[in-house]
A and B are shown apart, each in its own frame.
Chain A
Amino acid sequence: MDMKNLYLLVPLAPLFGAVLSGLFGKMIGRTGAHVVTVLGVAVSLVASVLIFQDVQAGHHFNGAIYTWLESGGLKLEVGFLIDPLTVMMMLVVTFVSLMVHIYTIGYMADDPGYQRFFSYISLFTFSMLMLVMSNNFVQLFFGWEAVGLVSYLLIGFWYTRPTAIYANLKAFLVNRVGDFGFLLGIALIAAYAGSLDYATVFAKRNELAAMTETVTGWPLITAICICLFIGAMGKSAQVPLHVWLPDSMEGPTPISALIHAATMVTAGIFMVTRMSPLFELSDTALSFVLVIGAITALFMGFLGIIQNDIKRVVAYSTLSQLGYMTVALGASAYSVAVFHLMTHAFFKALLFLGAGSVIMGCHHNQDIRYMGGLRKYMPITWLTSLLGSLALIGFPFFSGFYSKDSIIEAVHASTLWGSGFAYFSVVAGVFITAFYSFRMYFLVFHGKERFSKNHHDHHGNQQDEELSADHHHGLAHGEKPHESPWVVTLPLVLLAIPSVVIGFFTIQPMLFGDWFASAVFVDEAKHPAMAVMSEEFHGAAAMALHGMTSLPFMLAMSGIVLSWFFYLKRPDIPAAIQKAVQPIYTLLENKYYFDKFNEVFFSGGARLLGRSLWKGGDQVVIDGIMVNGSARLVGWFARTVRLLQTGRIYQYAFGMIFGVFALLTLWFNRV
């Protein structure tokens, strides 16, 4: 088959499934819906594997499918760029998507919106593939917004829940703030490079680097990169645009795994990597990236410690890990960022799907304080979750170890402004990650069984009340949790395998080989991190063995031990600590008050401004004074003039005589 057709097949197969189950869901039924969508994604995965082999053989592709628009000398096309970076993303997206599709068959089995759900996740897969396969900024933006749309639809999937439809609107709008920057970045590129095609723009990078923005006087390349990165901050949930991600957990768990952990949220990481030829030109932008990523990695990790909702713990861990990837980008270690993106996609999807399995086993209880000892009831879920957690905390030989340790090394080698803080963040983050991950792990799978406490004796705030009324069913008294069906556990197992081994096998080619050489550009003279690491790298096994003696490993171990001690051995200690540091706890509980601030300042402010402009500007000034005012003026004038029309002849005659007299006087006295 012609390769171009194969490329087309990759996004179109899931689209076909999405359309079929979306528009004809009633006709094809529930089984029909999951068959077509699973098949669509499976075809896409197989095609991706074939393309992967082709790319390995050295065949890259960069070409157009059709011309979307032509205007003002700008030719905008829909086209594909197939290179190692793309094909790696394609594999990750299609593989995780397929796992999630299969898992959904079990997870959503009783849901009335079954076909709709499959349609959405297939549509998501299509959009994400269009995003990563794009060879130009317009299609990138299309995919970017399309995944945002599907995310919006899926967070609000259970549309009768007030929290869900609040969360999806919030997610869309916060993302739009990011997209605002992204669009301006794209517009700057179009204005100064005269093209929106990656290759053409990259070819002009040195010209762009020399320019300044004419109106603002900013260095052009820095302006472009920061604008683009603002887009990434929205999509990849970096502080302060991270606020939507924890709330997105309102969506069904499979999409939390697929969209809000493994793929969509990494779009920003992917995009910056794709733009590495541009970012390399601006140290200012890279420092900005580095610092934002470091803040996210560290401070979002803290929030993971105090969460009690199993999905929110994983969500904050995702935020923190996205911060790690962003830090890697800032350190010019793009391939490391993408490497962590890949390993994270596997183990985080695994953790989310595991969490979903736990939620099913506990009959939709999501509160980890009311779980415990699940190990013996859900053995597969337990074991896979343990593997996922070990990968997440970067236990040597696990995939997460290779990627995370590489990030730490890269930041260590970075010389940019802010790299000191970033290094501290990522190292401290290791301890925090281990602590909250194993806090959750111990509370869920070990210790005493606390199922029966679930009913109506907790839930501090209003939001939780609503949730519990709606879907926190929990186990009835005396009921025991149960392992999930095979469609749920099979994806867990299939995801657990790469979570464990993929780092070991791929670190050498991905980071230190020439796999990304054609896709990622690093200016090694200015940003030597990769070069330094490459010198110190002596094979995957050696790295893991050396890792056992390093500081991050010690930190991770102490995180595990401490969480074991706190939550299994002496459960009274955390409560005591909480009391002792109440102000800090309150700060964390309120998520640093970002939500409050946004609600009052942006949301409330915008509504207030809208109302005052409407009532004050439109109704009082324009309509009241200008429009109706002039109507009143005309009316008043007419009424006044009417007084002159008395109907009395002698008054008219007097008026005429007076007028003639006045005119004659003027006439004779003219100069």
Chain B
Amino acid sequence: MNSYLLSLAIWVPVLGALPVLALGSGRRNMVRWLALAVALAGFAVTLPLYIGFDVHQTGMQYVEQLPWIPRFNLQYMLGVDGISMPFVILNSFITVIVVIAGWDVIEEKQAQYMGAFLIMSGLVNGIFSALDGILFYVFFEASLIPMYIIIGVWGGPNRVYAAIKFFLYTLLGSLLMLVAMIWLFLEAGGSASILDWYRLPIGLTAQILLFIAFMLSFAVKVPMWPVHTWLPDAHVEAPTGGSVVLAAIALKQGAYGFLRFSLPILPDASHYLAPMVITLSLIAVVYIGFVALAQADMKKLVAYSSISHMGFVTLGFFIFNPLGMEGALVQMISHGFVAGAMFLCIGVMYDRMHSRQIADYGGVVNTMPKFAAFFMLFAMANSGLPATSGFVGEFMVVLGAVKFNFWIGFAAATTLILGAAYTLWMYKRVVFGAVANDHVAKLTDINAREFLFLAVLAICVLAMGLYPLPVTEVMHASVDNLLKHVAVSKLP
């Protein structure tokens, strides 16, 4: 029974999207209720993954294996470990939120909108559970399409530029990954199984080349400095739901790729090139932190803050200690909640004011007190306040980094100041103060639907901040195993 769970996680939303699409946009009410039902079902089938998870097992669980393209020995092989399992659940959870968030706001082509998100949700679950390299690649690339459509169709005025930039950037990145995978496939004697690739001895030069090929793909997705500039554009143009999924899920795919491919397949290159990755990560934390300070557009600001937070993730991976790596994973999950919530908050205001410019706001708290309270919580989480999820990952990574090298920890810890500065300065200009203009004066506070999704995310943020143990518990065995694996040289 257990062994179908991952397939369900992938195909329930994908197949469920078909009737949603078939309904067409004429019947709005049916469309959205059906979409919600599918999203909830998709979320429900992922919960047993956590409940039935064996925290002591280091290998893959819930493994499914079927021949896919026998001629090339490609397998439909799925499985999750403590590293990937949380992301399947997170992704399915965020899909529910996104469906609720798009309830009233999307007026045109709602069936297609919901359908795109549902399909993407399934494909992303595929990314996190594929154990066959080529299968991973297919999911990885396929998930670009719904996002491309979401930005291109429901996006803002400059959506076409942003959509193409997003698509080309990420596609170009992944082409070299395909080359690398084919090389590995041949080297492994015609096996695309990732687990086989883990056991493959590879020379240092080859490892470095492969590492760079993989990294180009993953770094664009994360995104790491300096290949990050597609993200602010994509965020600004994307509809709220698109931004939420981009921040909460899409960025995690790149980071996940490092853990699934780069580190275990290429341990020597990983160590060899770690200083470079660490440097890029710190640039992301510090440089992007300053850039975020200068933003006048709220979405851009949060987009830059995402890049800065993802810098913590890549930093945590490449200092090779359990605190850093688990901290990075916690940060990824937390960022899913917090950045998602931040974009939803901006969406709530945008729906009313049709502006994302900080300068157009001021004194929102006077007219939207409930909203202001939620926004405060998420802003604090974004600044890494203890008792929110945002603190846990940053704290662990800083602890790990100081252990690794004091100055790296020092640079990383500047986020404590920068993160608070850009987030709270924005909050001050948008929410605090006297009512700035007539538009703000006419604002109405959040409705029940908005209250619902903000409250659910608020609970997640607080719960994970107050009691992160259940999240990290499932990661230990896999992270320890991975670190042990990376510590062993694969040079022939």
Contact = CB atoms under 8 A, between A and B. Distances in A.
A159 B322 contact: no
Given A180-B417, A184-B409, A613-B290, A72 B468 contact: no
A173 B326 contact: no
A607 interface: yes
A495 B366 CA distance: 36
Interface stretch (A62-70, A325-333, A386-394): A62-70
A552 to B, nearest CB: 40
Contacts of B400: 72
A173 B365 CA distance: 21
B322 A176 contact: no
Interface in A165-182: 165-166, 169, 172-173, 176-177, 179-180
Interface stretch (B120-128, B385-393, B439-447): B385-393
A171 to B, nearest CB: 11
A129 interface: no
Interface string B176-216: 00000000000000000000000000000000000000000
Given A69-B472, A177-B417, A215-B405, A618 B229 contact: yes
B399 A68 contact: no
A176 B420 contact: yes
B226 A622 contact: yes
> Size class of A's contact patch?
35 or more
A187 B469 contact: no
A71 B420 contact: no
The winner among A142, A146, A610, A617 for most chain B CB atoms within 10 A is A610
B380 A149 contact: yes
A156 B424 CA distance: 12
A156 B152 CA distance: 41
A156 B432 contact: yes
Contacts of B413: 180, 183-184, 187
A258 B290 CA distance: 35
A618 B304 CA distance: 11
B399 A159 contact: no
A253 B292 CA distance: 35
B352 to A, nearest CB: 20
A609 interface: yes
A617 B290 CA distance: 11
A159 B385 contact: no
B202 to A, nearest CB: 28
A626 B169 CA distance: 12
A614 B291 contact: yes
Nearest to B408: A215
Interface string B383-412: 001110001100110111111011101100
A179 B416 contact: yes
A191 interface: yes
Interface string A137-155: 0100110111001001100
Given A72-B326, A184-B402, A617 B291 contact: yes
Interface string B159-173: 000000100010000
B165 to A, nearest CB: 7
Interface string A301-314: 00000000000000
A160 B363 contact: yes
The winner among A67, A215, A622, A626 for most chain B CB atoms within 10 A is A215
Given A71-B323, A72-B400, A190-B399, A160 B434 contact: yes
Given A187-B402, A214-B406, 8 more contacts: A67-B469, A72-B323, A146-B386, A160-B433, A172-B424, A613-B294, A614-B295, A618-B229
Interface of B: 165, 169, 226, 229-230, 287, 290-295, 321-323, 326-327, 363, 365-366, 376, 380, 385-387, 391-392, 395-396, 398-403, 405-407, 409-410, 413-414, 416-417, 420-421, 424-425, 428, 431-434, 466-469, 472-473, 476
| Shortest beta-carbon contacts, A-B, top 3 | A610-B294, A187-B402, A72-B322
19 contacts: A72-B321, A72-B400, A145-B391, A146-B387, A152-B424, A159-B431, A160-B433, A162-B433, A165-B433, A173-B421, A177-B417, A180-B416, A183-B416, A190-B403, A191-B402, A215-B406, A610-B293, A613-B287, A614-B295
